[in-house]
């Protein structure tokens, strides 16, 4: 008695399905309008401000190294990072350059980084 050989499964035709288009990420804006502050509690407002600031720094090639939700935030940035120019366009965030250079391990090698402190919100 002969057994039936199962048919080969058909290959999936990927040409019939159009490739999904990725949505563009929204541009990072530090939402510090009075309207944003009024619709959120103080804790939510500070959490959102810190999260937006971290994304803002990451887009400029810098790293936030301070603890979350601190008023004065420490940031490390490599040589040639556009972060200082971008922060200069927003005078609401005072920047203090720390003296000297630090080292950061990136991709298996050490790179020199400048450390700055940025005040995200005033006391109170």
| Calpha distance 115→74 (Å, rounded) | 7
Q: Please indicate whether residue 7 or residue 63 has the higher confidence score (pLDDT).
A: 63
Q: What is the pLDDT of residue 31?
A: 55
pLDDT at residue number 33: 62
CA distance 96 to 101: 14
The verdict on pTM exceeding 0.85 is: no
Q: Which helix (H) or strand (E) holds 75?
A: strand 72-78
The predicted-structure confidence for 52-108, as pLDDT tens digits, reads as follows 899 999 999 999 999 888 889 999 999 989 999 999 988 888 899 999 888 888 888
């Amino acid at each position: 008695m002969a057994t039936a050989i199962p048919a080969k499964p058909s290959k999936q035709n990927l040409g019939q399905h159009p490739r999904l288009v990725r949505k563009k990420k929204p541009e990072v804006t530090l939402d510090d309008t009075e309207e944003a502050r009024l619709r959120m509690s103080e804790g939510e407002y500070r959490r959102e401000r810190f999260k937006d600031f971290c994304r803002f720094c990451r887009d400029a090639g810098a790293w936030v190294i301070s603890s979350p939700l601190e008023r004065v935030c420490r940031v490390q940035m490599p040589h040639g990072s556009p972060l200082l120019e971008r922060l200069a366009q927003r005078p609401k965030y005072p920047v203090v350059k720390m003296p000297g250079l630090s080292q950061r391990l990136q991709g298996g090698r050490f790179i020199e980084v400048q450390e700055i402190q940025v005040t995200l919100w005033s006391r109170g």
